[in-house]
Each structure stands twice: as C-alpha cells, then as structure tokens.
Amino acid sequence: MKNKPVTSMLLPRYLVPVRPRDVVLLDHAVVVLDGRIAAVEPRETAIERFPDADKLELPHHVLLPGLVNMHTHSAMSLLRGYADDLDLNTWLRDHIWPAERRWLSAEFVRDGTELAVAEMLRSGTTCFNEMYFFPEVIAEVVDAAGLRACIGSPVIEFETAWASGFDDYFDKAERLHRVLEGHSRLTVALAPHAAYTVTDEMLTRIADYSTRHGLPVHMHLLEIAWEIQHSLQEYGVRPLKRLEQLGLLNDRFLAVHMAHLGEDDFELLAATGVNVVHCPESNLKLASGFCPLSGLLRAGVNVSVGTDGAASNNNLDLFGELRTAALLAKGLAADPCVVDAMSALELVTINAAKALGLGHELGSIESGKSADLVALDLNWPETQPVHHVVSQVVYAASSRQVSDVWVCGRRLLDNGSLTTLDLPAIMAKAKAWNQRMAVQ
C-alpha cells in the first residue's frame, strides 16, 4: 500500500507525549500529515516508511504538546506594570477599571492582543482561553496569527465601551457564536466576569444558552474571601451553592482562581465535573489567596493553569506558571511529593484540553490529534545534564529555550522567529501606547 504524502517529520532527541503517562521516548519521530499527527514511532522506522517527508532534526530538543493557557485577558498586556503592588480591590476598582474606561477600544484590544500573542507563541503556548472585551477583534488577531483559542464573550452588569448593558452583551455573544461556529481553531465561551458583578437573571440566561449550545462558561470565582460574605448577604448561600442552584455547575464550567474553598466544596466540584483554573502567580502577586491544588487533584477535580492577564502577573509565561504551581502546592501541603513534575505538565496540556472539551484534539502527542507542538532546546547550561527530562522541563527550563512552535502542523515559530507576526511593528505600537497613556 502506497503511503500518503507527508508534510513533515520532526526528529527530536526526546519526546514527551503526555499520553501514555510517564513516558519519555528517545530518538522517535512525529510524522505530520495535513496538520495532524499521522504517526509516532522510532526514528529509523519512520524514515524508512516515509522517505520523502521533509525532515527537521531537533538534536538537543524535547518535543512537547503545545501548551494551553487557560485564563488570559490578552489586551491587558498594554497595562503590564500599570498598577503594581496593590490589593485586588484597589488594583481593580481604583486603577484597572478607570484605565479601561479611558482607553478601552477596538484599537487597544487589537494592539494588546497582538503583543500577547507574540509573547505566548515565543513561550510555547499554542492555545489560550480568553476573556476580554471586543472578542471579535481578538478572534481576528488569533485567526491571522494561526493560533488556537477559546474566545470568551464577556458579560458584566455595567456599561463599557464595547456594550451598553446585559442585552447588548448577550446579543454580541450570540453573534460571535454564530460567526465562529465550525471554525477549525477558534471556539466560543460565555464569560460572565464574576459572581459579584453578574445578576441571577444574567446567569440563568447564560446557563440556558450554555446548555442548549454546549458552550463553556468561563468565570472568575472565589478569588477573594469577600465574595463569600457578599454572596451570603445578597443571596443567602455561598457562591458555589448559588451557581449550582442556577444550573451552572457542570463539566463545561471553567472556575478561575478558586482560592477560598470550603471543606464541602471539593466534593461538590468533583461530583459536578467543574473544571478549576489555577492562576498561582497572579494570586500571589495580588495576595488574593491560595488555590488548594493538591487537594483538588486528590479529590478528582480536573485542574488546569492560566497566567491571568499581564496586568496582574506580569507575564504570559506558562513554563514559569507551571513551576510556580508545583512548588506552591508542595509548600502549602508541606509535602514535596505532591504535584510531581508530570502532574504539573498535565496542568498545561491534557488537563487543559479536557477542560475546553478538546481532549480528542489537543494535550498529548498521539496519532490522529492536531499537530500542535512545541520544541524546547535543552542544550543550555540551565538544563544540563538531563537526568530526568520532565523534571528539567518543569523545574529548570525557561521559555527562552522554546525554539519552534506548530499549530495544526503550521510552523508559527521557526528557530525563535515568528512567522505570522510582524514583531517590530507590534513592539512599536506597544511603545506608542506607553507614550499615549503617560501623557494623560
């Protein structure tokens, strides 16, 4: 039987497929056909089977599934360092929201998202879960750059430059869903801001639309302890119980932060299939609290990791984020054995793919899945010698070591150079925003 034409063959020194778990393959090949993984097999076997494939040698590299950033506000890259060293309430109400009232526009979102996408690509992110205004503009930027994203359509009870009120927010969410339905790389989520900024009426309508169309719901939840007091005072129940009563707790719900969980919450989350998104560096920087990562994993809850926006992190670097998540979990549990290196890597690969309902497409290097891949060069002083590949990736490697990135088999980062983005132009626009905002 004659083999089909093959677009490329990647030949890394090390291959971490993530599934099967705890496997590191040496001198294997990943064969890519029409943007999908056609084969994962020993190097010599692949070369013999596919002699005409375009071969890329990666002699010092580990090949990983593309990383998935499960919580971002991409355009807020233009607010990086704008209001630091403040508590969450002061940061949000006295600085970030006023800045957004002044500067939020389609231009702001386009330029900020381009900056974020460049940063994420250069650090190995191939897919991200977004929540910000002007989502149609974000979708355009992501589509042009060739990445993959779940585009959250925001809902909040006050007027913004993008929408005038709840009906307007919801109409725009429906329109975005219609426009992107069936897109190969872009999906849509409903993105109510938080339990304290969205009413029961809004949440009921969101739950209904999510159920009818199978859309994820992406929401900040239990980021600060005050949310519990507010919910008890306004609704007579804790936030999670309120959302359960409104029909939101299911395997499409993406609960971001979750830094103030009660004893009974672990069982509820596991029973309903809720996906928790842990943002350790943002929570640490804002002193918001601690998501109990090891306890959630032990309870069987699917947990993934997001950076949050660059305004509160201040970067979009998932390699740094997964290291922080693992180390923080060990410290909080007073147990160095919890959240080992493989478990940490799963947070930004297979767990994240599952949370987005894309486990059949992403999160591991397996035949039939999309060729969303990252090559990390381990031939740096910081990652030598290589005693344990996954440990080096999680505890020692830097995003600076990302050399190549593919999405759907398309090479978006080629030996450190972006292939679909004009980085000098993006940097020039970021500097122009810096000057514009400094003048006001």
Question: Per residue in 234-253, pLDDT tens?
Answer: 999 999 999 999 999 999 99
Confidence band for 394, pLDDT divided at 50, 70 and 90? very high
Say yes or no: 168 and 221 in one domain: yes
Asked if residue 436 belongs to a domain, the reply is no
Q: Are 124 and 399 in contact (CB under 8 A)?
A: yes
Say yes or no: 235 and 327 in one domain: yes
Q: Buried (b) or exposed (e) across 395-433, using 16+ Cβ within 10 A?
A: ebbebebbbbbbbbbbbbbeeeebebbeeeebeebbeeb
Confidence band for 1, pLDDT divided at 50, 70 and 90? very low
Domain boundary among 316, 338, 355: 355
Q: Are 122 and 402 in contact (CB under 8 A)?
A: yes
Average pLDDT over residues 193-213: 96
Confidence band for 440, pLDDT divided at 50, 70 and 90? low
Average pLDDT over residues 251-273: 97
- The predicted-structure confidence for 50-79, as pLDDT tens digits, reads as follows 999 999 999 999 999 999 999 999 999 999
Say yes or no: 42 and 74 in one domain: no
Asked if residue 422 belongs to a domain, the reply is no
- Work out the number of other CB atoms within 10 angstroms of the CB of residue 225: 12
- Work out the number of other CB atoms within 10 angstroms of the CB of residue 258: 27
Contacts of 319 (CB under 8 A, 6+ apart): 67, 123, 124, 393, 397, 398, 399, 402
Confidence band for 88, pLDDT divided at 50, 70 and 90? confident
Query: What distance in Å separates the CA atoms of residue 127 and residue 123, rounded to the nearest whole number?
Result: 12
Asked if residue 388 belongs to a domain, the reply is yes
The one-letter code for the residue type at 5 is P
Confidence band for 439, pLDDT divided at 50, 70 and 90? low
Domain that holds residue 32: 8-66+364-408
Asked if residue 421 belongs to a domain, the reply is no
Give the Å distances, CA to CA, from 120 to 76, 128, 184, 414. Answer: 13, 9, 20, 14
Say yes or no: 305 and 403 in one domain: no
Q: Buried (b) or exposed (e) across 113-130, using 16+ Cβ within 10 A?
A: bbbbbbbbbbbbbbbbbb
Say yes or no: 207 and 240 in one domain: yes
Give the Å distances, CA to CA, from 279 to 4, 52, 232, 293, 368. Answer: 43, 44, 25, 10, 31
Contacts of 438 (CB under 8 A, 6+ apart): none
Say yes or no: 161 and 138 in one domain: yes
- Of 401, 407, 425, the C-alpha closest to 122 is 401
Q: How many structural domains is the chain composed of?
A: 2
Say yes or no: 253 and 296 in one domain: yes
Say yes or no: 240 and 348 in one domain: yes
Model pTM score: 0.97
Average pLDDT over residues 21-41: 97
Say yes or no: 50 and 73 in one domain: no
Say yes or no: 275 and 154 in one domain: yes
Average pLDDT over residues 412-433: 98
Asked if residue 414 belongs to a domain, the reply is no
Query: What distance in Å separates the CA atoms of residue 68 and residue 356, rounded to the nearest whole number?
Result: 10
Beta-sheet pairing, 125-131 with 148-155: parallel
- The predicted-structure confidence for 211-225, as pLDDT tens digits, reads as follows 999 999 999 999 999
Q: Are 281 and 320 in contact (CB under 8 A)?
A: yes
Say yes or no: 346 and 376 in one domain: no
What sign does the CA torsion over 203, 205, 208, 212 have?
Answer: negative
CATH number at residue 384: 2.30.40.10
Average pLDDT over residues 277-296: 97
Say yes or no: 349 and 371 in one domain: no
Asked if residue 241 belongs to a domain, the reply is yes
Average pLDDT over residues 343-353: 98
CATH number at residue 278: 3.20.20.140
Confidence band for 4, pLDDT divided at 50, 70 and 90? low
Average pLDDT over residues 188-209: 97
Average pLDDT over residues 397-403: 98
First and final CA of the chain: distance in angstroms? 69
pLDDT of residue 438: 85
Domain boundary among 355, 372, 389: 355
DSSP E strand boundaries for 209-355: 217-221, 253-257, 275-278, 302-305
The one-letter code for the residue type at 337 is C
Mean pLDDT (the chain, rounded): 96
Average pLDDT over residues 29-48: 97
Phi, psi of 343 (to 5 degrees): -60, -40
Asked if residue 434 belongs to a domain, the reply is no
pLDDT of residue 7: 82
Would the pLDDT of 5 be above 70? no
pLDDT of residue 137: 98
Asked if residue 431 belongs to a domain, the reply is no
pLDDT above 70 covers what percent of the chain?
Answer: 98
